[in-house]
Amino acid sequence: MAKTLAAALQEEAVSILDIRDEISLSKGEHFGLVTPTYFWELPKPVREFLEKIEINQTEDHYSFVIATFGTTPGCTGEEARRLLAAKGLLLDAAYSIRMPDNWTVWFDLSDSAKVAKQNEKADRTIEKVLERIGKQEQGNHMFLRTPYFTKYFTDAAFSKARMTKNLHLEESCIGCGICAKNCPVSAIEIKDGKAVWVKEQCALCFGCLHHCPKFAIQYGNNATKRHGQYVHE
Ligand code: SF4
Ligand code: SF4
């Protein structure tokens, strides 16, 4: 999503993992944050990034956040607004784009035709969002958002869900290391030829589960096995 938007805006998409300590905005430069929604709020790595980053700015910046979501973008817009305000950057607008939800504990992504339709719809929404960014619209335009106070309820559920003991490995693991290499929080290592979780909690991005060539990683009660793997093309 970030790459698509950046290309359309003739900007560069940069992963938060590649930004060290600060962002410097020159006069008139836009600031856009594209984030998924996890448990109705910002993913922990995104939150931690916004808490640690310094933003050097001058003036005239149009700043926006875009959250992708499956059921609701939750309070991601308001959460980002508060975190950015603490850094001195006033958020102008918040948008959301519904996409296939890779939380396959609940969502069944095994029907590729249905998933393709969801992505086509998302592509149409991107066009509308780009139009609004072009007009530098103001306000929180997140569809189906929840009030900020819901975070006080979702925080606890999210923390529990992020326990890596909920993830488990099947015999089919071949120790290829793809999961370990791509885990954004280094929560997986390969030991004795098999994937092992080495942290108590992780970001819960489900990247390991969806990218595994053997579909050897499952979560919870194995509904994930029935619901298939999904990686955006
Ligand atoms: S990606 Fe899959 S097969 Fe490869 S090490 Fe991880 S769990 Fe094992
Ligand atoms: S879901 Fe997997 S890849 Fe994602 S943070 Fe957790 S262990 Fe790492």
Q: What was the pLDDT predicted at 20?
A: 83
Q: Whose CA is nearest to atom 4 of ligand 2?
A: 205
Residues 98 and 206 in one domain: no
Q: Whose CA is nearest to atom 6 of ligand 1?
A: 179
Confidence (pTM)? 0.92
Q: What was the pLDDT predicted at 27?
A: 84
The answer to whether residue 233 sits within a structural domain is: no
Q: What was the pLDDT predicted at 191?
A: 97
Residues 91 and 174 in one domain: no
CATH assignment at residue 206:
3.30.70.20
Number of domains in the chain: 2
pLDDT band at 57 (very low <50, low <70, confident <90, very high): confident
Residues with C-beta less than 6 Å from any ligand 2 atom = 183-185, 187-188, 202-208
Residue 125 alpha carbon to ligand 1 centre in Å: 34
**Is-contact 93 56, C-beta < 8 A?**
no
Angle at Cα 204 formed by Cα 198 and Cα 206, nearest 5°?
100
In this predicted model, what pLDDT tens digit does every residue of 195-225 receive, in sequence order?
A: 999 999 999 999 999 999 999 999 998 899 9
Residues 57 and 169 in one domain: no
Last-in-domain residue among 156, 175, 205: 156
Q: What was the pLDDT predicted at 233?
A: 80
The answer to whether residue 53 sits within a structural domain is: yes
Residue 213 alpha carbon to ligand 2 centre in Å: 15
Residues with C-beta less than 6 Å from any ligand 1 atom = 169, 173-179, 190, 195, 212-214, 216-217
Which atom belonging to ligand 2 lies closest to the Cα atom of 199? 7
Q: Of 84, 77, 2, which is closest to residue 37 (Cα–Cα)? A: 77
